[in-house]
Chains A and B, each alone.
Chain A
């Protein structure tokens, strides 16, 4: 499978290396050349310098033949927009967008975009550790907590 990853931060770079180790071809997009250093010398995949919401850039990354797309930049809205382009325009089968803002993650989940909120995941894991609770499933961590839902 060919996978396109947007954002070569810690998450994007680690994901790229993991996918490659699992035998997949990978293209990573970032707007900062320095970021590609995180991939190390052993990385065989493609690196593309550019903005992920620009379709010319996605095209260079091979979005047309991609089986998966992950948007992992630090910008929630860039991730939302590029994930929608990948899913709706290019019909990429597996699309995931990382969205820090839990409310936005929830809103786009309702609109049919698969999202992961590291905010809810991180806070939930810390909470369970502190309160000495057993770990829960990912979807439980991703569910919008009442305290946040009410503030809407």
Chain B
């Protein structure tokens, strides 16, 4: 896979590094000479000096044959333009934009850029969920944050305790994956009976986290 990363800040640097060690072909575009010198020292030909918002730079960096362009500069407007250029001018199949203002997620979608990553939003959602549902802890998010991998610790008296998984009225689009009991981890199936003290790793959509919580934990106040 050929990936063009635009923006050689910390995000771009580590992204390029990870992709390269994964064996992917990468070009990392950086517009500031000083930063570029540093990147070239580390990456050699992978580093490319130029403004990724410019049609010419993208062309020279090989955008016409790129499988993916990731715009990860610190400026949302630059990332928007990079992605729009890549998508509409060079027909790049997949473009990903880093955004800082979480509200721009909707704006970007409206302007044709569907895949966005917002660290502000990720951290905010972690804090928000910590406050609201301290007992369903998000571990990681997939699919633009719409799918979540979560962890639930079952306290005494939770409605799901001492019940078989198949008897739980779990909301659609949620499923229990792994059971951690003591030092053992097992795959959960319909016959698994849940116990107090169990830790469950589950997949759920962001929209139904509250419903999921209710089935697993009811109104039980989590023990701190």
Contacts and interface: CB of A to CB of B under 8 A. Distances in A.
Interface stretch (A9-17, A41-49, A84-92, A117-125): A84-92
Nearest to B53: A77
A76 B110 CA distance: 20
A39 interface: no
17 contacts: A53-B77, A53-B101, A53-B104, A77-B80, A81-B77, A81-B80, A81-B81, A84-B111, A85-B111, A88-B111, A103-B55, A104-B53, A107-B85, A107-B88, A111-B88, A151-B56, A152-B59
B53 A53 contact: no
A89 B57 CA distance: 30
Contact of A77 (B56, B75, B101, B110): B75
B77 A104 contact: no
Given A107-B85, A111-B88, A88 B78 contact: no
B130 to A, nearest CB: 26
Interface of A: 53-56, 75-78, 80-82, 84-85, 88-89, 101, 103-104, 107, 111, 151-152
B114 interface: no
A81 B101 CA distance: 13
B55 A152 contact: yes
A104 B56 CA distance: 10
B77 A88 contact: no
A51 to B, nearest CB: 9
Contacts of B37: none
B210 interface: no
A129 to B, nearest CB: 28
Contacts of A107: 55, 85, 88-89
A104 B55 contact: yes
